[in-house]
Amino acid sequence: MTSRRGGGGGSTLRCGNHPNTPLVEDYRAGDMICPECGVVVGDRVVDVGNEWRTFSNDTGDKDKSRVGGSENPFLSGSDLSTMVGSDRGSGGADIQSYARIQNRSSVSGSDRTLLSAIREIGAMAARINLPKMITDRANQLFKQVNDQKTLKGRRNEAIVSACLYIACRQEGVPRTFKEICAISKVPKKEIGRCFKLISRTLEASVDIITSGDFMSRFCANLGLPTAVQRGASCIAKKAMELDLVAGRSPVSVAAASIYLASQASDVKKSPKEIGDVCGVADATIRQAYKCMIGRAPELFPTDFKFGTPIENLPGC
């Protein structure tokens, strides 16, 4: 004896003798069986498992899956399009050519541009180990720009780079323009122009970056201890408050502060070592350092452990 309980448009199978016992599905026979008494409660159940068995040592490029990929929220439509696969057998070249032509015609120009941008953003983010939330934010920004067509005529590579730069700042893990240039091969000026246009067009709010946004990452890459990092952060903050580095970028201030803190500690780093990590020229670091060294006693935290006294620091 079986029973069905439920409301609305569906029902739930239950064993009449053991209504509270979860049923077991026999995938081969397609039956629902009560494990307590063995009664077949339902038959001809649709198997929702895999259609094919696959093994790790399978060779070849044949895809036995009969379903499409996951829906991409950044593309228009429902992704229920037909894609022609390739064949490595006889006549493979002709089939590949037909597949390429058919697949190109089945995707709109806007979606092709978007797909290319998504691939590029993913590749750039992977080079500097950016998390998925940043790539998703960059993809969304590019889609908005692409839909509005406000940057028509600009290089897609520059737009992609600017979107990734904005996404990093919005997610609280800013990267410098030089870091974005290094992974995109797009000139800094071109990325900067696209950044300004996107910010103005989309009214994308980005927090003002400070030297503290880069300090922990730069110090970690230089292998400096936590005490030096804290000292450099204090130096940069007080230098800004005393207006000693007016007109200089936060990255330059961070690099000069790290140089000053490291020279006063037991773990000394040269301007070249710091410049290679921070992306700042040696001369720029030395110039900002000269602006700070005259008032160095006011910049260091009170608990800083000096390896070199302030009066013996370079430039004093």
Q: Are 265 and 307 within 8 A, CB to CB?
A: yes
Q: Are 52 and 65 within 8 A, CB to CB?
A: yes
| CA–CA distance, 301 with 112 (Å, rounded to integer) | 55
Quote the pLDDT of residue 2: 46
Positions of CATH 2.20.25.10 in the chain: 12-46
Name residues whose C-beta falls within 8 Å of residue 184's C-beta, 6 or more positions apart in sequence: 124, 157, 160, 161, 164, 191
Within the chain, strands assigned E span: 2-5, 12-15, 24-26, 31-33, 40-42
Does the domain at residues 12-46 carry the CATH identifier 1.20.1290.10?
A: no
In terms of CATH architecture, what is 109-202? Orthogonal Bundle (1.10)
pLDDT over 70 (residue 66):
no
DSSP 6-43: --TT--EEEESS-TTSPPEEETTTTEEE-TTT--EEE-
Quote the pLDDT of residue 31: 76
Quote the pLDDT of residue 84: 54
Name the band, by pLDDT with cuts 50, 70 and 90, for residue 6.
Answer: very low
Buried b (16+ CB within 10 A) or exposed e, 218-254: bbeebebeebbbbbbbbbbbbbbeeebbeebbbbbbb
Name the band, by pLDDT with cuts 50, 70 and 90, for residue 40.
Answer: confident
pLDDT tens for 120-138 read 999 999 998 888 999 999 9
Quote the pLDDT of residue 29: 66
Q: Which residue has the higher pLDDT, 98 or 41?
A: 41
pLDDT tens for 134-187 read 999 999 999 988 888 777 777 888 999 999 999 999 888 899 998 999 898 889
| CA–CA distance, 293 with 192 (Å, rounded to integer) | 32
Positions of CATH 1.10.472.10 in the chain: 109-202, 212-312
Q: Are 252 and 284 within 8 A, CB to CB?
A: yes
Residue 184 Ramachandran class (φ > 0 left, ψ -120 to 50 alpha, else beta)? alpha
Q: Which of 142, 79, 136, 141 lies closest to 116 in space, CA to CA?
A: 142
pLDDT over 50 (residue 9):
no
Pick the CATH number of 212-312 from 3.30.43.10, 1.10.472.10, 3.40.30.10, 3.40.190.10: 1.10.472.10
pLDDT over 50 (residue 1):
no
pLDDT tens for 203-252 read 767 778 888 889 999 999 999 999 999 999 999 999 999 999 888 999 99
pTM of this prediction exceeds 0.75: no
| 117 C-beta neighbours (distance < 10 Å), count | 23
What are 303's two structure tokens? Answer: 């608990």
φ/ψ (deg, to 5) at 268: -90, 140
